[in-house]
Amino acid sequence: MTTIKVVSLPGDGIGPEVNGQAVRVLELVCKSAGRNLEVVELPMGGVALDAGDKALPDATRAACVKADAVLLGAVGLPKYDGVPGERRPEKGLLDLRAALGVYANLRPVRSIPALIDSSPLKKDIVDGTDMLVVRELLSGVYFGEPRGIEGSYAFNTMGYHEHEVERVARIAFEAARKRRGLVTSVDKANVLEVSQLWRRVVKQLHEAEYSDVKLEHQYVDSAAMDLIRNPKRFDVVVTSNLFGDILTDAAAVLPGSIGLLASASLGDGPGLFEPIHGSAPDIAGQGIANPLGAIGSVAWMFNTSLGMPEQGAMVEKAIDEVLSQGHRTRDLGGNLSTSEMGDAICQALGRQ
């Protein structure tokens, strides 16, 4: 049987703290499935810059593109705030996404019954929320050229090619077929030409290949309001890079903490799996970060890149179980440390 090769990039701040627990879960589940696993840990982000290298060192890039999957903690350090984009930790992450060709970033958001009181929103609004945000990850204003600062003027370019919209929309339609059959495409077509093209391409693909799925279009400002007012109405949301980044941090409020949110970035090669949160400098080094977003990302790794859905389901079940038993890190009002939450997950897995 082939060995599963995973590159682990702990990164900065709470990245290594949450990633450590995710690797632990990955190892445990592979062992119980009788699979050989090789985890290679490499530097990326501020930790690589601090060592005098690029944010995405060449050796890290080379290992990632050859791996079966990549597991990332988080990148970003306050000391790099104000440093030009090219020399920031975040540039390593953008370069890695591009190197892996991961154009679709899947961010599931669902309310967890045991945590219903952790949400700042009213129970009847949040209860039953279950959506998948499909964020375009390799284009839009994040990558558009030209960009720069010239004297007193700074500029970025938001652009999308038809094929970039089509491939991410396809992921959304396919996902909706396996879920509740609704895709909401979020754009700003009342103002932006980019969104007008986006909307046209999504419509064309829908008519040509996915007319069994219900498609609706919504402006991003209105979608932001519905995310808080009526989140249950969303099934699959597909949107551009920047809108998806913003909407998913807002959506993290629904289950109760950004520390819970997992993600999978997929393309044609190895997938990249990371919690949606950042390096959380305000709590880094204290061992109190919630590792469940990182651990949930391992579930997605099993479900997608590794082709082991049974193991993915085991990890998801363990997360639900520990939460329904009342285990909570600080962000959810409890007092478990990061590693104690990891212990609880490993114990729950051991009982399955």
Nearer to ligand NAD, 184 or 263 (CB): 263
Phi-psi category of residue 67: left, alpha or beta, with phi > 0 → left and psi -120 to 50 → alpha? beta
Identified catalytic residue from 80, 142, 160, 210: 142
Identified catalytic residue from 127, 226, 249, 343: 249
284 alpha-carbon distance from chain centroid: 20
Identified catalytic residue from 188, 210, 235, 331: 188
Sheet of 37-41, strand order: 37-41, 4-11, 69-74, 271-273, 264-266, 104-110, 130-136, 236-239, 182-187, 214-219
Does position 209 interact with ligand IPM (CB under 6 A)? The reply is no
Which of Mn ion, ligand NAD, ligand IPM, none is residue 289 near (CB under 5 to 8 Å by kind)? ligand NAD
Contacts with ligand IPM in 249-308 (CB under 6 A)?
276, 278
Binding site for ligand NAD (CB under 6 A): 14, 18, 74-76, 90, 93, 258-259, 274, 277-283, 289-290, 293, 331
Identified catalytic residue from 31, 66, 117, 221: 221
# residues contacting Mn ion (CB under 5 A): 1
* Residue among 233, 262, 232, 235 nearest 248 (CA): 262
Tell me which stretch binds ligand IPM (CB under 6 A): 9-17, 88-96, 225-233, 344-352: 88-96
Nearer to ligand IPM, 278 or 291 (CB): 278
Does position 136 interact with ligand IPM (CB under 6 A)? The reply is no
The CA-CA-CA angle for residues 23, 24, 27, to 5°, reads: 85
Does position 245 interact with Mn ion (CB under 5 A)? The reply is yes
Cα-based distances in Å from 78 to 56, 82, 281, 289: 18, 9, 7, 17
- Least Å from the CB of residue 221 to ligand NAD: 21
* Residue among 190, 208, 70, 183 nearest 131 (CA): 183
Is the Cβ–Cβ distance between 246 and 237 less than 8 Å?
no
Please report, as a single letter, which amino acid is at residue 278.
G
Would you call 249 a catalytic residue per the annotation? yes
Residues forming contacts to ligand IPM in the complex (CB under 6 A) are: 76, 90, 93-94, 245, 276, 278
- Report the catalytic residues: 142, 188, 221, 245, 249
